[in-house]
Structure 1
Amino acid sequence: MARLYEIRADYDRETIVVYQAYADPIADAALEAQTFVRPFSFKRMTWIKPSFLWLMHRSHWGQKTGQTRILAVRITRAGWERALSLGELTSPERGVYRSAAEWERKFQSAPVHIQWDTERSSRGAALPCFSIQVGLSRHIIREFVEEWIVGIEDLTPRVRKWNAIRVGSSRSLKRELPGEKVYPVPGELTRKLLISD
């Protein structure tokens, strides 16, 4: 059974897949360049999510306005772990911060924001564990775009197919979805991310 806080992802020895949803102009340009280019915004925070089903919940399976294209963005594990190391939680968790004031100071200056959201099933039901999403601010987006990204894949056609399947059989759907397993977070980061050893 999943722990309350753990990162589950599609990863190999060198890379990890994170998911994002965009409108056609951003997705088409990114797929052609195999990284993000304009009209992608380099001046606002962008959120990356290793949980496929959480993004499906967020984007209504690619049916939400402005989130109709589902991209699988493969990035280096070194980049992913750098983002985690630079991040601060979006709430002043007592086990991590000595006070709300300490959290506020660190959070306001952090180039990366880390948020835990309730994980979802394929039908959108809340699960008894959390899913991580990582917000990259304008101070680190260039590094993400220029150094971390290995490749971008358009999952939109498959998402449409999977959305049709899930209306019928969630068991059949589970066999087709991207495989995710627990990601081994470096020991020094477990406490600040609320992850138990």
Structure 2
Amino acid sequence: MPTRQIRARYDDDTIAVYQAYAPEIAVPALAAQTFVAPFGFSRMTWIKPSFLWMAYRSGWATKPGQTRVLRIHLKRSGFEWALANSSLSHYDRTQHADKAAWRAELAAAPVRIQWDPEQTLTLTPQPEVRSLQLGLSGPAVTHYVNDWITRIEDATPEMQHIHALSKSDPTAAQAALPREIPYPISPELAAHIGAAD
């Protein structure tokens, strides 16, 4: 498996990403099928295509403020706009001429890219396999909320079910995970976001 590769649940038009919130944000979002107050437009909001990375981040939907896990279906065109208008959140000498060039790119880009260790069912990091996170800010948040979201699902019961299975029947838990497969992007976009074999 490539070290840095977008793996996601997607179809011809949409891609699924995850976020976890407190009920006061999640419940209105589910009702409106997009984010509404008290969701904050001024803060960076992080989206994750990996179900297991969301399980890790939210502690299987048990951490304070992260007890409701949402599966957000986005237009692929919007997701790819975010990738194209991103900057790596860390300096990479293979991607940037120097640190000053990286800082200038980071300051101008409305989207940040992070490649974090993918997780296992036991929430053990896999340093050799990285999972994508996208941090949206400014105009990217506005596009996300107003233009890209096609549907929001409550993935909390699924998260809790798989967590319970992981303790009693890991094989069944593995089989119950959402099927995430490599997401196709152009070589130019792959190079821009630092995807690599």
Q: Is contact 2:88–2:194 with CA below 8 Å preserved after alignment?
A: no
Three-state SS of the structure 2 residue aligned to 1:192 is: helix
User: Is 2:142 the counterpart of 1:142?
Assistant: yes
User: Unaligned stretches of 5+ in structure 1?
Assistant: none
Normalized against structure 1, the TM-score is what? 0.97
The equivalent of 1:178 in structure 2 is 178
Amino acid at match of 1:116: W
Q: Is 1:59 the counterpart of 2:61 in the alignment?
A: no
Report runs of 4+ in structure 1 exceeding 2 Å deviation: none
The aligned length equals 196
SS of 1:153 mapped into structure 2:
strand
Deviations 1:122-166 (A, max 9, x none): 111122210000000023211111110000000111211211111
The one-letter code matched in structure 2 to 1:51 is S
2: CA distance, partners of 1:173 / 1:66: 25
Gaps of 5+ in 2: none
Secondary structure at the aligned position of 2:106 is classed as: helix
Output aligned runs, 1:1-197, within 5 Å: 2-127=1-126, 128-196=128-196
RMSD: 1.0
Q: Distance in 1 between matches of 2:121 and 2:151?
A: 26
What letter matches 2:17 in structure 1? Answer: V
Give the deviation of 1:169 after TM superposition.
2.1
CA deviation string 1:102-138 (max 9, x = no partner): 0011101210011110000011112221000000002
Identity %: 43
